[in-house]
Amino acid sequence: MAEMWITMGPQHPMTHGLWTLRVKVDGETVTDTEAELGYIHRGVEKICEARDFTQITPYCDRLCYVSAMTWAHSYIMAAEDLLEAEVPERAEYIRLMAAEVQRLASHLMWLGAFGPDIGNLTLMTWCLRDREMFLDLLQELGGSRMHYNYPRVGGVKRDIPIGWADRMKAKVKLFENRINEYEMLLDESTIWLVRLQGVGYATAEDQLNAGVTGPNIRAAGVNTDARWTNPYSVYDQVDWEPAVEKPTSVKGADCYDRYRVRMEEMRQSCRMLLDAIEKIPGGANTHYQPGDEMILTKAPTRAPEGATGFSTYECTRGVSNFYIQGGGDGRGKNPYRLSIRSPMFITIPYVAKTMIGYKIADIPAIMGSFDPCIGETDR
Amino acid sequence: MGTTVTKEQNAEAAKAAADNLNARFSDAGVSTDVVAHKGGMKYDFVRITCSPDQWIGVAKHLKHELGVNHCAMVTGTHYPSGDDGRGWEVAYHMHRWPITNVKAHTMIVHEGEKLKGDDIPMEFEIFIPLPAGDSPSVPSIQDLWEGADWNEKETWDLVGIDFEGHVNMHRVLNPHDSPVGFHPLQRQHKIRYHDYNEMYDDPQGFGRKPVDEGRVK
């Protein structure tokens, strides 16, 4: 049969965003693919050259609306490296908890979007229900539901409110039981297993060489996680271990392993949250006023020419990096150049190539299992 | 407790990598330093500065001798008013992580504190200054790290750095029919409000003053 090109996207449920996957098919079998990105390129890097270091945080929130908190923190870490800012320990604990709540919300959004890809609509309603709990927690910190503008150079904008600790503990404990419910729903479902097992193999070394990081690589049997390989914040003081899955084949992790590793990662985030709230310096039910030295230290606002800042941060989809050069407009008030490394920008072309040899019907399963997010891809 | 990499391990690995690079490349003029982050936990990383024609040699050494297995990002910067020696700069950021393939139904659980030698995670930052001019160019490392492929495409697309030997170079973020030679992160392209401080008071520019003549709005 003659081969032909099919265009999936930019409007297609598989894409989880706005991009195009061009697929060359021979009958039902994929023989070649091409990813086309850039549909929502907003020029964030250029915009940031005309903003000062505080004004940049909201732009970084909007890199990925599913995971705004981790992206803002990733930027702030690079800015602190550039501006030589110190962070109080209480603020580090708050940041850790904010990022882990965001990780739960983000993985729930992934699972909720992945369910309908595979034919399980119940999952979406369940996941969005639980995600609201965590968005409410984040809203209490940042003031809005999705884009929080929460971290500041040298600390955080506001302390955790009174009662936040109790609400968080209750929600996390409830959610720990809900994860078991999800697994009962999914792991007993024949459709779920048949569509995920044995498709989309990717080995650890291949993925890393191609730049794929985060849960996708931990699914292939290695516990590499930037939270301990490139330590930051207080991850060395709280109780957790990186989620890692045993791949089912020498060919590496399949879609099912990638699903399993994210479920485990949610459990680890819960464990971390419950431990961090007990250990937080200054007490879990204390509220320091904004600007208090327990949560924010004064930091310089200008960086000289030639200074650089670089951060390696474990975002929900992999390792994100920011690289900032000081000495821009306004006598160093703005960055001269700010560069963003999005894990998904590298992952999507790689995933497109791993689909070769599978059937068209496997494409949503393979693509969805890598958790694409186009906001951060196109920047 | 979560596992971690200690400061001693980190300092030891950074020094070992820098010594290794200096022993091999310092005669050729490649400078290698151990630099500490100034924020966060202040861990060390390795900073290398080399010229474009030394780059492939350094890159191969990094990959095959020092075990650098992740090309994280490629950043191009334009310095229109820079010194004669530096009109452009390409910065590479790379990681070394202890990652190997596993057999089926097994996994590797590293304990950070017990890692030794080349298994200790490390960051590498490579600066390649390029002379001023219209055609900045560095050799491509696409065939060493597959992950550099799309990073280089992006850097060419946005900044206009040519990567010699890069196969299948095309626009990735800008529209595919963008004019030839249009690379928006070059400094001659101004966005609105660059160097213009009244953006919040006067978004439409009705109150422009003679002093703003010629500025981009």
Over residues A42-97, the pLDDT tens digits come to 889 988 888 889 889 999 999 988 899 999 999 999 999 999 888 999 999 999 99
* CATH number for the domain formed by residue range(s) A40-344: 1.10.645.10
- The answer to whether A38 contacts B175, with C-beta atoms less than 8 Å apart, is yes
Residues facing residue B78 across a β-bridge:
B88
Those of residues 310-369 in A touching chain B at CB distance below 8 A are 310-312, 319, 321, 323, 325, 329, 336-337, 339, 341, 345-346, 349-350
For residue B84, name the pLDDT band (cuts at 50, 70, 90). Answer: low
Amino acid symbol at A102: Q
pLDDT at residue A164 in the model: 92
pLDDT of A335-375, one tens digit each? 999 999 999 999 999 999 999 989 998 999 999 999 888 88
Residue A117's φ and ψ, nearest 5 degrees, are -55, -40
Number of residues assigned to chain B: 217
* Residue in B37, B135, B39 with CA at minimum distance from that of residue B93: B37
DSSP string, A199-220: SS-B-HHHHHHTT--THHHHTT
In contact, A301 and A360? CB cutoff 8 Å: no
State the CATH number of the domain containing residue B169. Answer: 3.30.460.80
Which two tokens mark A305?
């020419």
Instruction: Name the minimum distance, in Å, from the CA of B47 to any CA of chain A.
Output: 12
If you average pLDDT over every residue of chain B, what do you get?
84
Q: Mean per-residue pLDDT for A102-106?
A: 93
A291 lies within 8 A of chain B by CB: no
Give me the residues of B, 137-196, that contact A with CB < 8 A: 145-151, 154, 158, 171-176, 184-185, 189, 191, 193-195
pLDDT > 80? residue B22? yes
Share of chain A above pLDDT 70, in %: 100
pLDDT score of B39 more than 60: yes
Confidence of residue A121 (pLDDT cuts 50, 70, 90): confident
Q: How close, in Å, is residue A187 to chain B by CA atoms?
A: 18
Compute the distance between CA of residue B186 and CA of residue B51 in angstroms, rounded to an integer.
Answer: 21
Q: Closest Cα of chain A to B28: distance in Å? A: 24
Number of independent structural domains in chain B: 1
Residue numbers in A near B152 (CB within 8 A): none
Consecutive H or E run containing A105: helix A89-118
Report the residue from A38, A232, A242 with minimal CB separation from B173: A38
> What is the mean predicted confidence (pLDDT) over B66-84?
86
For strand A155-156 and strand A337-341, is the pairing parallel, antiparallel, or unpaired?
unpaired
* Banded pLDDT at A293 (limits 50, 70, 90): confident
pLDDT at res. B208: 62
> At B204, is the pLDDT very low, low, confident or very high (cuts 50, 70, 90)?
low
Which of these, A216, A228, A203, A206, lies nearest to A344 by C-alpha position? A216
Are B172 and A37 a contacting pair at CB < 8 A? yes
Model pLDDT, residue B217: 45
What is B102-168 written as a DSSP string?
--TT--B---GGG--GGGS-EEEEEEEEE-SSS--EEE--TTT-TTHHHHHHHHHHHH--EEET-SS
Contacts of A29 (CB under 8 A, 6+ apart): A357, A358, A359, A360
Residue range A155-181: mean pLDDT, rounded: 92
Mean pLDDT of chain A: 90
Contact, B148 vs B71, CB < 8 A? Answer: yes
Instruction: Determine the Cα–Cα distance for residues A163 and A161; give it in Å rounded to an integer.
Output: 6
Structure token pair of residue B57: 């040699």
Mutation site for A-interface testing, chosen from B63, B107, B170, B196 by largest number of A Cβ within 10 Å: B107
Domain of B77? Answer: 7-186
Chain B touched by A22 (CB under 8 Å): no
Across the interface, whether the CB atoms of A339 and B73 are under 8 A apart is answered yes
Q: Of the candidates A82, A236, A321, which has its C-beta nearest B4's C-beta?
A: A236
Mean pLDDT over A299-322 rounds to 90
Task: List, as ranges, residues 56-75 from B with C-beta within 8 Å of A.
Answer: 69-73, 75
Angle, helix A164-187 to helix A89-118, in steps of 10 degrees: 30
Residue B190 has pLDDT above 80, yes or no: no
Q: Do B98 and A38 touch (CB under 8 A)?
A: no
- Number of helical H runs and strand E runs in chain A: 15, 8
Give the minimum alpha-carbon distance from A122 to chain B in angstroms, rounded to a whole number: 31
**In this complex, do A211 and B72 lie within 8 Å of one another by their Cβ atoms?**
yes
Measured between CA atoms, the residue of chain B closest to residue A348 is B150
**In chain A, domain spans:** 40-344
| Whether the predicted pLDDT of B203 surpasses 80 | no
Examine the pLDDT at B209 and tell me if it is beyond 70. Answer: no
Quickly list H helices, A304-357: 329-332, 343-354
Q: Between chains, do A341 and B5 touch, taking CB under 8 Å as contact?
A: no
pLDDT per residue over A212-246, tens digit each?
Answer: 998 999 999 888 899 999 998 899 889 898 999 89
Structure confidence at residue B202 (pLDDT): 57
Specify the pLDDT at position B211.
65
Cβ <8 Å between B39 and A77: yes
pLDDT for residue B83: 67
Q: What is the pLDDT of residues A233-281, one digit of tens each?
A: 899 889 898 999 898 888 889 999 999 999 999 999 999 999 999 999 9
B148 belongs to a structural domain:
yes
Residue B152 belongs to a domain? yes
- Decide if B102 and A246 are in contact by the 8 Å CB cutoff: yes
Task: Decide if B107 contacts A218 (C-beta within 8 A).
Answer: no
Q: How far is B2 from chain A (nearest CA, A)?
A: 5
Closest Cβ–Cβ partner in A208, A272, A308 for B99: A208
The band of B198, judged by pLDDT with boundaries at 50, 70 and 90, is: very low
pLDDT at residue A311 is higher than 70: yes
pLDDT for res B192: 60
At residue A14, the pLDDT reads 80
**Mean pLDDT score, A198-211:** 90
pLDDT of A147 strictly over 50: yes
Look at residue A51 in the predicted model and tell me its pLDDT: 84
Cis peptide before B203 (omega within 30 of 0): no
